[in-house]
Amino acid sequence: MTPLLRLGTALLLCILCSCTTRQLAGPDQPLHAPGQFSYVQKVIPDAVLDIRYFGNDNFTGRPVPGYEKPLAILTTKAASALLQVQEGLKKSGLGIKIFDAYRPQMAVDHFESWAKVLDDTLTKRKFYPDVDKRDLFKLNYIASRSGHTRGSTVDLTLIRLQTGEELDMGSHYDFFGNISHHAYGGISASQKANRELLRNIMARHGFRDYKEEWWHYTLADEPYPDTYFNFKVQ
């Protein structure tokens, strides 16, 4: 084989490999979960799930495409770290409630489309009363890419195991406003303490917070930092 032919063959193989990678993990291909993902309840059987995008109690007011079952999926690495969080909390009679975990790219695309329909304000009073819907992109409440789609981000809160009652965090999940920011000063001392309790134990087990959402955490050493998946939650 001549050097030129070898070079052409190598380039062709490189292109084929690149296409295969995009097909397996690209945002346009709905697939089944790869082997490196786990159902959270198989790893953490006593975790409480309240998957909001499966139903109507979310900022769109309707079930979100891609959520076919009320399940939480994470990379196995993130789920294992979250298990350590749960085990640590149980010593104090507390546990985790999960609102969202892995999120398909099709759901993120749906959020983007929803944000552009300015007269659809079904949930404004509950989720964004002080924000004009046209500003949701500008204020980073809605984006075309989400860390959730990489599989190692989770939205959660703390509950009392004996009653299932949520700890008061000062605002409800997915509220678009300053009160949801970690640094917001207008909440009570006990609400601040509850947020810090969640943040400290998540940090202890390798998760980093997101300053604008008290419920949002990403595994710092996530296995897919540049890959956005699109398989359905099912």
- The catalytic residue positions are 213
Gap between the terminal Cα atoms of the chain: 49
Tokens of 192: 């601040």
Stated as kind and residue range, the H or E segment containing 73 is strand 73-75
The owner of tokens 């009320």 is 70
Residues 130 and 41: their CA atoms lie apart, in Å, by: 36
Tokens of 114: 């929803």
Length of the chain: 234
With a CB cutoff of 8 Å and minimum separation 6, the contacts of 166 are 97, 157, 158, 159
Residues 201 and 227: their CA atoms lie apart, in Å, by: 27
